[in-house]
């Protein structure tokens, strides 16, 4: 049996499926692997199932010249924590879990859109504080989401699922910023300029992958272009946004508010951001549902099984 290392505790059903095929070791910690342990697992195991937070950089791969590991079956669709080109140079395949995460992450985007536009977190804090003085006609007025315009940054799987929810659920107009035109079953206008789109929308949502190519894609220029009532939502990766520029835009009330699931230096959230009442802060909850984490695990196991059977991986993101 090949040796598998799983870097975090996972649902029992996923672990059972893994044990059917592999001599499986499960690390009993939810913290990212240390620099030492990243190198150790590449040396000691045939296959590894990592998650976001386990930073497999080019240096890590270069430090292990002849790795025993031949597959990193990532638990999650986003793999910006793995240098997949460097992995390939070391003869290591990388796979991910697309599709399993799509609906839950799109739901989280809608959750944040509503929470930010309707000031739900602020209202919840008010009730908890005991300072609520009762309903009145001008209490905590926010923005009505129905029939507004949403601008989606990156119309991939999650972006399209958000577009569908906005169009069918809320009667919203859909705009998107994307490198290539996408076919949707309803009218969705494409922008080639992100700032041009930001000028027009009531809600701007980021759902591109993280990494060097998209780092700080949403910066001061975008927040300056947005209308003062407009909201910004991020369910992608923290580094897609210039967090300093976002804090400034929120402090100056240059935008209506923001809803964030991800942060530039997770789990660190800047004090300045936590001090603001016009931002909703979630702890990377995008896929945090029992069924979804189970499906993600099973998808990772499918890739591991394919590797063990020497058949093509269903979800390879590089080639060796």
Ligand X SMILES: O=C(O)C(=O)CO
Ligand Y SMILES: NC(=O)C1=CN([C@@H]2O[C@H](COP(=O)(O)OP(=O)(O)OC[C@H]3O[C@@H](n4cnc5c(N)ncnc54)[C@H](O)[C@@H]3O)[C@@H](O)[C@H]2O)C=CC1
Residue numbers of the site for ligand Y (CB under 6 A)? Answer: 77-78, 98, 101-102, 105, 154-159, 177-179, 207-210, 213-214, 235-237, 261-262, 284, 286-287
Q: Which does 52 bind (CB under 5 to 8 A by kind): ligand X, ligand Y, none?
A: ligand X
Q: Is 49 in the site for ligand X (CB under 6 A)?
A: no
If 0-12 CB within 10 Å is exposed, 13-18 middle and 19+ buried, where does residue 227 land?
Answer: middle
Q: How far is the CB of 192 from ligand Y (least distance, A)?
A: 10
CB within 8 Å of 232: residues ≥ 6 apart:
203, 204, 205, 206, 218, 223, 226, 246, 249, 255, 257, 258, 259
Which tokens in the block code for residue 148? 């507004």
| Alpha carbon distances (Å) from 289 to 105, 187, 296, 299 | 10, 31, 11, 15
Beta carbon nearer to ligand Y, 214 or 295:
214
**DSSP character for 268?**
B
Q: Which does 67 bind (CB under 5 to 8 A by kind): ligand X, ligand Y, none?
A: none
Beta carbon nearer to ligand Y, 22 or 223:
223
Tokens 């119309």 sit on residue: 155
Tell me, yes or no, if 266 is annotated catalytic: yes
Neighbours of 288 (CB within 10 A): 13
Mark residues 212-231: x for contact with ligand X by CB under 6 A, - for none: --------------------
Neighbours of 27 (CB within 10 A): 14
Q: How far is the CB of 96 from ligand X (least distance, A)?
A: 8
Size of the site for ligand X (CB under 6 A): 7
Q: Which does 213 bind (CB under 5 to 8 A by kind): ligand Y, ligand X, none?
A: ligand Y
Of residues 244-303, those binding ligand X (CB under 6 A): 286-287
Q: Which stretch binds ligand X (CB under 6 A): 71-79, 173-181, 199-207, 216-224?
A: 71-79
Q: Is 90 in the site for ligand X (CB under 6 A)?
A: no
Q: Is 142 in the site for ligand X (CB under 6 A)?
A: no
Which tokens in the block code for residue 247? 């804090």
Peptide bond into 282 cis (omega under 30): no
Q: Is 151 in the site for ligand X (CB under 6 A)?
A: no
Q: Which stretch binds ligand X (CB under 6 A): 10-18, 74-82, 272-280, 301-309?
A: 74-82
Sign of the CA dihedral with 102 first, then 237, 118, and 269 last: positive
The catalytically annotated residue of 44, 122, 200, 266 is 266
Beta carbon nearer to ligand Y, 226 or 292:
292
Tell me, yes or no, if 237 is annotated catalytic: yes
DSSP 41-73: HHHH-SEEE-BTT--B-HHHHHT-SS-S--EEE
Phi/psi region, residue 213 (left: phi>0; alpha: psi -120 to 50; beta: rest), is alpha
What is the spatial distance between Cα 192 and Cα 198, in angstroms, rounded to a whole number?
A: 11
Q: Which does 179 bind (CB under 5 to 8 A by kind): ligand Y, ligand X, none?
A: ligand Y
Q: Which does 257 bind (CB under 5 to 8 A by kind): ligand X, ligand Y, none?
A: none
The catalytically annotated residue of 81, 237, 243, 293 is 237
Which tokens in the block code for residue 43? 């040396």
Q: How far is the CB of 109 from ligand Y (least distance, A)?
A: 8
Helices H / strands E in the chain, number of each = 13, 12
Q: Indicate which single residue of 32, 50, 76, 297 sits in contact with ligand X (rule: CB under 6 A).
A: 76
Active site positions, annotated: 237, 266, 284
Residues that bind ligand X (CB under 6 A): 52, 76-78, 101, 286-287
């Amino acid at each position: 049996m090949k040796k598998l290392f799983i870097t975090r505790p996972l649902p029992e059903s996923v672990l059972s499926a893994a044990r059917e095929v592999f001599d499986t070791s499960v690390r009993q910690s939810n913290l990212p692997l240390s620099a030492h342990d990243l190198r150790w697992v590449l040396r000691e195991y045939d296959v590894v199932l990592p998650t976001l937070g386990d930073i497999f950089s080019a240096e890590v791969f270069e430090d292990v010249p002849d790795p025993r590991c031949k597959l990193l079956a990532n638990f999650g669709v986003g793999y910006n924590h793995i240098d997949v080109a460097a992995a390939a140079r070391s003869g290591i395949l990388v796979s991910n879990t697309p599709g399993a995460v799509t609906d839950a992450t799109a739901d989280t985007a809608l959750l944040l859109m509503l929470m930010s536009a309707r000031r739900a977190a602020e209202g919840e804090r008010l009730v908890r504080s005991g300072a609520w003085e009762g309903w009145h006609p001008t209490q905590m007025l926010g923005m009505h989401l129905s029939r507004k315009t949403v601008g989606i940054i990156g119309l991939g799987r999650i972006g399209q699922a958000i577009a569908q929810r906005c169009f069918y659920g809320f009667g919203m107009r859909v705009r998107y910023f994307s490198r290539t035109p996408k076919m949707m079953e309803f009218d969705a206008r494409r922008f080639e300029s992100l700032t041009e789109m930001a000028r027009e929308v009531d809600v701007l949502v980021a759902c591109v992958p993280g990494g060097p190519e998209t780092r700080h894609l949403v910066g001061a220029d975008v927040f300056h272009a947005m209308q003062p009532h407009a909201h910004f939502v991020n369910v992608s990766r923290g580094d897609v946004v210039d967090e300093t520029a976002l804090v400034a835009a929120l402090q100056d009330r240059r935008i209506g508010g923001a809803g964030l699931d991800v942060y530039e230096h997770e789990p660190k959230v800047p004090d300045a951001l936590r001090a603001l009442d016009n931002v909703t802060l979630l702890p990377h909850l995008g896929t945090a549902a029992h069924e979804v984490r189970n499906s993600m695990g099973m998808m990772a196991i499918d890739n591991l099984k394919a590797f063990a059977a020497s058949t093509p991986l269903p979800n390879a993101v590089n080639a060796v």
